[in-house]
Amino acid sequence: MQLTRFSDLGLRILMRLGEASATDSPRMTVADLADAIEAPETHVAKIVSRLAGIGVVRSVRGRAGGVQLAESAPSLSVGRLLREMEPKTPVIDCSAPSPCPYLEGDCLLRHRLAAATEAFYRSLDDLHVADLIADASRPRDTPVSLGLPHTP
């Protein structure tokens, strides 16, 4: 399963805000967040709005305003957060561009893919935002390969 860029950046925003929460200035502007995670400011603003709607970040208006982690954010399960952020669409689209001939029946593949998606989320239920923040704050000596292509 592949996360949407929206969810990926949402997790990065939470990690960055978590690092900021340990400093004297726990708030960051959307522009600062966009710079920190190297993403367009308009996209970051949409993600922050969604995270605020979920209740994991808090927006403060005004001159000293910005975005900060909500108090409850560190205890939130990553699996639960991704269920909120990811689109509620099936892994495969059985109706487009040309409909699958098995669309009308009770398709085993569709059921298995839905079960696999839920298993993916369940595997992240015991990982919490606090874990991501702690990991983001640790020193990085060498890159870790996960079997994926790496560009320095």
**3-class state of residue 54 by DSSP:** helix
CATH code: domain 5-137 is 1.10.10.10
For residue 114, the Cα-to-chain-centroid distance in whole angstroms is: 20
Q: What are the pLDDT digits (tens) for 125-146?
A: 999 999 998 888 777 776 665 6
| Alpha helix segments (H runs only) across 22-59 | 30-37, 41-54
Neighbours of 120 (CB within 10 A): 15
For residue 28, the Cα-to-chain-centroid distance in whole angstroms is: 18
Using DSSP bridges, classify how beta strands 57-60 and 66-69 pair: parallel, antiparallel or unpaired: antiparallel
Q: What are the pLDDT digits (tens) for 2-30?
A: 899 999 999 999 999 999 988 888 899 99
Per-residue tokens: 108: 């085993």
Q: What is the mean pLDDT of the chain?
A: 87
Neighbours of 20 (CB within 10 A): 21
- Going by pLDDT thresholds of 50, 70 and 90, the confidence category of residue 64 is confident
Predicted pLDDT of residue 88? 85
Q: What are the pLDDT digits (tens) for 45-55?
A: 999 999 999 99
Predicted pLDDT of residue 135? 86
Predicted pLDDT of residue 81? 96
One-letter amino acid for residue 137 of the chain: S
Q: What are the pLDDT digits (tens) for 68-104?
A: 999 999 999 999 999 999 988 878 777 777 878 777 7
- Going by pLDDT thresholds of 50, 70 and 90, the confidence category of residue 150 is low
Every domain of the chain and the residues it spans: 5-137
| Alpha helix segments (H runs only) across 28-107 | 30-37, 41-54, 78-85
